């Protein structure tokens, strides 16, 4: 089995209110050296055989991410032990 991870993040030019809320809360925890926070999603896809990365790219582009406001990165190569 193969595992592919898709990370989905807002594009840099899109405001991230969740990230901003976390950044604003950090000083209350005495964390003052973090200058920016962006929040995204991690999706793990497990395949019964080898992963077809072109197919994963299509899934990410059409289903997992909104290409207007989000970018995605595909991480492949993790083997899953049953």
CATH code of residue 25 = 3.30.1280.10
* pLDDT higher than 60, residue 81: no
Residue-level pLDDT at 82:
47
The first and second tokens of residue 49, run together, are 């055989």
The total domain count for the chain is: 1
pLDDT in the model for residue 79: 54
Q: Cα–Cα distance between 53 and 22 in angstroms, integer?
A: 33
Which of the 8 DSSP states describes residue 29?
Answer: G
| For range 75-81, the mean pLDDT | 68
What average pLDDT does the structure give for the chain? Answer: 93
Q: Specify the pLDDT at position 48.
A: 93
pTM of the model: 0.85
Q: Which structural domain, as residue segments, surrounds residue 52? A: 2-79
């Amino acid at each position: 089995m193969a595992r592919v991870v898709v990370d989905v993040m807002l594009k840099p030019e899109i405001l991230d209110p969740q990230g901003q809320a976390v950044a604003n809360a950090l000083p209350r925890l005495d964390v003052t050296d973090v200058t920016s926070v962006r929040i995204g999603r991690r999706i793990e896809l497990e395949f019964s055989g080898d992963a077809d990365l072109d197919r994963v790219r299509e899934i990410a582009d059409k289903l997992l991410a909104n290409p207007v406001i989000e970018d995605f990165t595909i991480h492949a190569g993790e083997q899953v032990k049953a």
